[in-house]
Structure 1
């Protein structure tokens, strides 16, 4: 049977002498890389990738040597060796992103013993085919207990998965499966279906075997892990993975809150970091909303204060109406008052009492404005709601070419049919320009054409209704 080879295998075989060097320490420089590769042979070119904005290292680089043999030698000698205290991950440079984007022939390996390094894992999996990349995930120099192995062909990956899944390595049973991208895992797995449990508040004397025996009473357990520190001591939490989602749910109901030794266990669904972050954000948002609602009923906004009013004086005035939790007069950087502040009462009833009593009251020569304090978002919503309900109504005739009211933020509403008709706009007198004389016979006419709002009074809807008082006023003005 012919092995299934990636469509980019020819590129892999003909890639020449270009290497990708990843997982670099942020302090590694081009000089450090040249020194590391110097013993292998002369370097054609080297590029350490950096952020365009900050100039900081992106922790990966490309190294070009003069021959494929030199590059192969460098890959064999330097892969997983330490550079400034951190192991380098070296692989052939792949210009085609097919393998990276699709996860072709990529395996996910979990429940790895903390003593297993990337080089050790690669040596175990390399028996089943050519490995393009192998990595044990770590943080601050310590293993996270899982890793990734990418083969050159699907058949090699399948052979390794079949042979190594559920085998013992370093005292732990490996779990080997096909790598699935995060987006696909999120879409494929409903939130309610889970098999992996998070167990915390464990006694330090509990071992993984003891934890497995404890949960095996509920159902079949596939794997167990207790998190350890770098000294091998328990971090007092771990994970239990069941074969059946029903058993996992039952274990949460039975084991959560149970007492083991002198400690009460917490057992719940194991969550990814993104899930925990989202839940914490929602909890914070709910807490913030509850606090805002509570403060909205207690907090008063006071403006038009005299510049001499300080926190002490404001508290003295408002304390007559109830217990005050806090008082603040807002000031400029130089300490002068901005002439407004906030007063927070202990109860909504006391706040309402002060609002009714002091709104419009005179304090040191100024009339106070007291209202319930609002956040900026609420003020904007209220303003938009108010402005939407109070659209301006033009009192010009329909054929007048007036400027749109949208250009005027401050406007007033007028009745479309006022009891006293408005005078002609913009000229109070229809005889305007009649006395300009013979030298300028068309001046009045030109003036009328100049202003699009000019109309003979008789042609307007108001012209026929002008009463005697309006006409007398026009004659008086002229």
Structure 2
């Protein structure tokens, strides 16, 4: 077994990192559980800040597996960390955060509106990466639409916000990210999502809220 493989066996992937998280904070966190050899947060070349994921390397497999087992559900800045053991070539091409990509919120829907009617109405603007989701409410329904690109979601919001569906004016905007006060569609997310597509990531792995 070569040294490169050994490095992977003692390293963990950290996902869903808040922008405020840095190497020092992660070191101070994980050194409480086991001696830390290194911390790495790959940074975006344009924005010069980390891309929501990183890696922590330990000195032996036992410590690595121990930290993996006890860090399930751990949160930083109200965001639950995704901690996984590295496998294969994930060191250089890790999975992206699950909530990256175009997610559109549609509000004030009539109670009779279902996922089929939402699909029929909004399919003209682009391709869905997964079927729209309709969530029942007490007085009205709302829905989430998952497009494969931001051009489609931008156009749908521009053209359909305020339009009448079943005698109700609908409200459209980008949905809030999971466990966050930020909405989808910001500049950072667009850059990360486009980078993922250019690098031929499987879009099915970019699961959304």
Q: Identify the TM-score tier after normalising by the shorter chain.
A: 0.3 to 0.5
TM-score using structure 1 length: 0.23
Flag the structure with larger Rg: 1
Return the structure number with greater relative CO, CA threshold 8 A, min gap 6.
2
